[in-house]
Amino acid sequence: MILEEPLLCEQTVPGRQGYSLPEPGANLPPKEFLRQAAAKLPEVSEVDVVRHFVRLSQQNYSKDVGLFPLGSCTMKYNPKTTDAAAALTNFAQAHPMISEEEVQGNLELIYELQNYLAEIGGMDAVTCWPAAGSHGELTGMMMIRAFHASKGNPRKKVIIPDSAHGTNPASAAICRYEVVTVKSNQDGILNPADVKAVMDEETAALMITNPNTLGLFEKNIQEICEIVHKQGGLVYCDGANLNALLGIVQLGKEGVDVLHFNLHKTFSTPHGGGGPGAGPVGVKKKLEPFLPTPLIIKENGRFNLEMARPQSIGRMKAYFGNFGMLVRAYAYIRELGPAGLRRIAEMAVLNANYIRKGLEKTYHLPYPSPSLHECVFSDKLQKETGVKTLDIAKRLMDYGFHPPTIYFPLIVHGALMIEPTESEPKASLDQFIAAMKAIAKECEETPELVQTAPHKTFRGRLDEVKAARELKLRY
């Protein structure tokens, strides 16, 4: 295996090329638009390019390689059938500016996906345009602001528990709300009384993540929603952890007014660098007038785009969202059906609890309450030997696993947040548990080995401090 891989532009051999183009003929653009000098592209052959990217892919770690237990991210396997669906010519090649008449099938797919998501979340209407979870949050909070403004007062504050998803405070702040933090209780969930103490008529909404970032179900959600509603407020639920509730809990029925879905988490569309994401938002009836335009309206079996919505917050995304992701999510839902979706939640919870049980004697569990799709450990038992969470995470790479989410949620010191998802067979969970146990043993016997990990990866320990201080964004 070759361990160093130069950039393609470093592999340039002047004059080398891997393609042949037809003669341009007479259809060239006007001369003033033509380049005067050749573009500075890498001069490489086809085999150079293929080897370059195959080598890079071999240095990469992905869900197609093994367990990817990033807590709160739901890194589940992306079935290849959904990629095949998205690659169908009429989906993949549809130009976003062709007329509604010519893309009736595509509009129907989005329309039906909206309905499926509405049913899954217990909401009345869904928009599929937001391009990410945080974009969904922004869309939701803009609708909440528009809702209150339409009643004469946009209100000033948004309540957010300290166990909420990390982007929530930013989304509220961008919508010009002051963030009021509520602490979760000793069991790791929200006390209705604590919400009541800060809820008033200047509070626009509560933003809650359920299950929360400790993997715990906010079991007082109904009572909390009632408290917020009583003062005229709305409840926003971050659907980042919806994987745990699929087919089991409809959050809308618990009292949630706005809910976003992460298609790239729960509905298996590619994630991270393989994205883009998609963050549809569901709302209750009272918020429908504020949905972003265009709306897809079904009339006499035809699907029309409607722009005339005077109270709408307007367009949130050019054209039709990240349409390829909508196709994948649609295919995934159709493939699994209601029973299959429910089975996902059951298996995700079972897998997380299998890891939790397997490691609870080895690593400290700061919140012993029963958890759902993920479990949060800390480095408390290992710290005495001088080994920290970061070291444990790095050492996991030597055992062939992607590290879990670390130092989040912030309410757990030295957090290790593990979410295996339903994709994992028992054998891979057993391997992961064995690796974590072996590392705990190393922490006692050879702490230095862990503190200087990883040792077997393409690159050793990266200097994160230098990376943060001397950020270089271009080659």
Interface positions with another protein (CB under 8 A) = 390, 407-408, 410, 413, 464-465, 468-469
- For 418, the 3-state DSSP assignment is strand
Per-state percent for the chain, helix, strand, coil, to nearest 5: 40, 10, 45
Among residues 316, 290, 294, the alpha carbon closest in space to that of 303 is found at: 294
Residue whose CB is less far from another protein, 224 or 450:
450
CB of 102 to another protein, least distance (A): 47
Residue whose CB is less far from another protein, 56 or 467:
467
CB of 460 to another protein, least distance (A): 17
Name 278's Cβ contacts closer than 8 Å, sequence gap at least 6.
128, 130, 131, 132, 262, 263, 264, 269, 321, 322, 325, 326, 329
Residue whose CB is less far from another protein, 329 or 390:
390
How do beta strands 234-238 and 203-209 pair? Answer: parallel
Scanning 131-262, the segments in alpha helix (DSSP H) are 133-150, 168-174, 192-198, 221-230
Scanning 199-314, the segments in alpha helix (DSSP H) are 221-230
Structure tokens at 126: 């869904």
CB of 162 to another protein, least distance (A): 13
Q: What angle do CA 214, 65, 271 make, to 5 degrees?
A: 55
CB of 372 to another protein, least distance (A): 24
Residue whose CB is less far from another protein, 88 or 462:
462
- For 110, the 3-state DSSP assignment is helix
Residue whose CB is less far from another protein, 343 or 380:
380
Please give the Cα distance from 211 to 219 (Å, whole number): 9
CB of 18 to another protein, least distance (A): 41
Residue whose CB is less far from another protein, 148 or 388:
388
CB of 404 to another protein, least distance (A): 14
Residues paired with residue 415 on neighbouring β-strands, in sequence order: 378
Name 187's Cβ contacts closer than 8 Å, sequence gap at least 6.
216, 367, 369
Residue whose CB is less far from another protein, 90 or 185:
185
Residue whose CB is less far from another protein, 218 or 391:
391
Which phi and psi (to 5°) does residue 331 adopt?
-60, -40
Structure tokens at 467: 């990376």
Residues paired with residue 70 on neighbouring β-strands, in sequence order: 418
Residue whose CB is less far from another protein, 7 or 410:
410
CB of 366 to another protein, least distance (A): 11
Residue whose CB is less far from another protein, 264 or 364:
364
CA 41, distance to chain mean position in Å, is 34
CB of 468 to another protein, least distance (A): 4
Please give the Cα distance from 162 to 188 (Å, whole number): 10
- DSSP assignment letter at 103: G
CB of 380 to another protein, least distance (A): 8
Residue whose CB is less far from another protein, 102 or 178:
178
Please give the Cα distance from 309 to 325 (Å, whole number): 26
CB of 465 to another protein, least distance (A): 4
Structure tokens at 299: 């009339």
Residue whose CB is less far from another protein, 77 or 408:
408
CB of 331 to another protein, least distance (A): 37
CA distances from 73 to 69, 192, 214, 277, 356 (A): 8, 27, 13, 12, 18
How do beta strands 203-209 and 157-161 pair? Answer: parallel
CB of 178 to another protein, least distance (A): 11
Instruction: Tell me the residue type at 297.
Output: I
Structure tokens at 19: 């393609």
Q: H or E element: which one contains 209?
A: strand 203-209
Residue 342 burial (C-beta neighbours within 10 Å; 0-12, 13-18, 19+): middle
